[in-house]
Structure formats: structure tokens, C-alpha cells
Amino acid sequence: MNVHKRIEKENSWSLRKILISLFLMGGAGFFLSVLIREGFFMGWELYFALACYFVILTALLIIDIGIIRKIYYKMEIDKGKLKIRDGVISRAIYIPLDRVYYIESMKLDDEIHYESIIVIDKKVNHKKIKAFNEDVMLRYKNLFDFYMDLKERYPQKSFYYYKVNHNRYKFIYYMYMLYKNCERCKFSDTSMDIVKRYVEGR
């Protein structure tokens, strides 16, 4: 199965999970209302049952919001810029393709779960774009050699980074898209492994 078919399957399953969640919310609410109407709960039991229902409702809503956010997350090439839509209502991030210098990826807990860092030299007014400095090296020691190389080659430049935690097949396509369009950008070995996954259709 190629990556695009996996993406379609992934999106279909995500929508199914949302529908199941909505069904559970409605079903639980209806069942609770019937029990209340029949006088099944007395005194404090009623308040406890309502509290439990709202806790479950809140948990399901949080899960649904997370799924929707992943569905709406998008990277695309738009007039020589990388456009990142990081959420449903968040403002898009625009980064010129020739300002992307490096992409590092770290494999996390399952087959397609990674954390990726995109290093750029353009300051973007967005909360997800942060300074790429010594403090970052304390958290990501595998970036140290690249950071020192940047400081040596471009001592006057300031660099920034965008971080994304991803576990969906569309990010495999996004990584391939960046590889094909960002000519200046270097990819770490792990990032290249993600690109190869797309090429090999796995």
C-alpha cells in the first residue's frame, strides 16, 4: 500500500473515531436523561452521575479536538514558500523555501511517530517559531554539530526553528515534499529515512 492510500485510510479512520465519540456522547446523555426521568438517582447520586457524565464528555471532546487538529494540519508549497497550517484556527506560517537550512527528526515510540525540527534563518512572528540557540542544544544534543557549523559559516546570522511532533502518514509525504523543493536544506539521516519511506511506498 503506497503512502497516499495510507493517508486516505488514516483520514477515514479519524473521521470514524469522531463519529463514534459523538455517538457515545449522545447515547450516554440519552441514557442518563432516561434514568433521571425515571427517578433512578436520589439526592447526591444525581449530582455524582451528572459529574461523571461531564467528566466523560470533557475527555471525549479533548480527544476529538486532538483528532481534528491532526486532520487540519497541513504543509504545502505556495509561491516559493512553505505554508504550514498548524491547527484549525491558528494563523498560517509562511517560510521561504530558500531560508530552510536543516531538518532533524527523532524517532519516538512507534513506527511512524517522530519529532522533527525545521531550522530556518528567517524570523517569523508566530509563537511556534523560536530562536535556535544554545538553550535548544540542552534539549537536542544531536543538533550540536550542525549548530556549531552554522555559527562558524554564518557568524552574523540568527537562526530559528519550528518543531512538530507527528505520527501520521501525511508527514511522510510532507518530508518528501520538503526534500524535493528545499534545495539548500540538509536532512539528517533519520529525516532521509522518512523520505525513503515515501519513495518506497511503506
Q: In the chain, what percentage of residues exceed pLDDT 70?
A: 99
Q: Could you state, in order of their start, the residue ranges of all structural domains in the chain?
A: 3-72, 97-200
Residue 50's alpha-carbon distances to 28, 29, 96, 101, 134, in angstroms, are 11, 9, 51, 53, 50
- Residue 168 reports pLDDT greater than 70: yes
Entry pTM: 0.81
**Backbone dihedral region of 122: left (phi > 0), alpha (psi from -120 to 50 degrees) or beta?**
beta
pLDDT one-digit tens code per residue, 69-101: 888 889 999 889 999 988 777 788 999 999 999
Please tell me the distance from the alpha carbon of residue 126 to that of residue 123, in angstroms, as a whole number.
9
Would you mind telling me the total number of residues written for the chain in this entry? Answer: 202
